Amino acid sequence: MALKRYKATTNPRRQRVMIDRSSFAKDSAAPKKLFAPAKKVTGRNNQGRITVRHRGGGQKRLYRVIDFNRNKFDIVGKVHSLEFDPNRTAAIALIVYPDGDKRFILAPAGLEVGMTVVSSKKEVVLDPGNATLLKNIPSGFNVHNVEMYPGRGAKLGRSAGNSIQVQGQVGKYVQVKMPSGETRLLHGDCLASVGSVSNEDHLHEVIGSAGTNRRLGKRPSVRGVAMHAQQHPHGGGEGKTGTGGPAKDIFGHRIGIRTRNNKRTDKFILKRRTK
């Protein structure tokens, strides 16, 4: 997708670089069942305690119900429109099926209005947006919207510009390379969509102002070294000081230490993600 720059009418606009959304549909033709109220979590757990800081506020949004299962098999659907989704970085596509059913899917790069997509457990034409089992996809192809366990819906490769590379079959498993650089095994019966996720220029967006971040639901963060010693392990000292040791969070835990502890699935990871 193309990038859009603004005239420097204000200082924030001088910096701002955003995705050009002129190709998106102005009004959605999707039925009401594909929209749901999105409850704001604001970083709190089920006890009301803040577990993820610096979240809250922001504009109200409706959640778009995305078909992550792609379980309408062997029925060809037509792309009715490409739409903006405020809840994710990628664009979404409204698919209309011959029986009148309408569903949202993640729009892959190269998908355009009027094209057709299909999902099948058999081999399909490897065009962007088509979905099939991982074991049916040859080595070297990029996929997205990939299931981690067969039948549970896609969990991997869903954000803007992401793609997962298929590297070959190992028994009933398929070796894939993740966007992080990790190489792992996934079951061959997991569904995957062909192509990479749209909006690959998302990385080049420049927000440009604090107000835009607030509308996105991001609250300000204060550096630990700017706090009192009682408030943060990095705080205190006369004048400007460093952290005085390894970086820590506000609770005193080391930052950057791997916390993954799932020995049950370690055997599926062939190579850890690259730093």
Name which CATH class applies to 21-203: mainly beta
Q: What is each CA distance from 205 to 15, 90, 159, 180, in whole angstroms?
A: 10, 13, 14, 20
pLDDT of the residue at 156: 97
Categorize the per-residue pLDDT at 132 as very low, low, confident or very high, splitting at 50, 70 and 90: very high
Extents of the domains making up the chain: 21-203, 224-268
Q: Is the pLDDT of residue 49 over 90?
A: yes
What are 52-108's pLDDT values in tens digits? 999 999 999 999 999 999 999 999 999 999 999 999 999 999 999 999 999 999 999
Shortest CA distance to 166 belongs to which of 122, 201, 126? 126
Give strand ranges (E) for 88-210.
92-96, 102-106, 116-117, 131-133, 142-144, 146-147, 154-156, 164-170, 173-177, 183-187, 191-194
Give strand ranges (E) for the chain.
3-5, 17-19, 35-37, 62-64, 77-83, 92-96, 102-106, 116-117, 131-133, 142-144, 146-147, 154-156, 164-170, 173-177, 183-187, 191-194, 269-271
Two tokens at 3?
Answer: 């990038």
208 within 8 A of 154, measured Cβ to Cβ = no
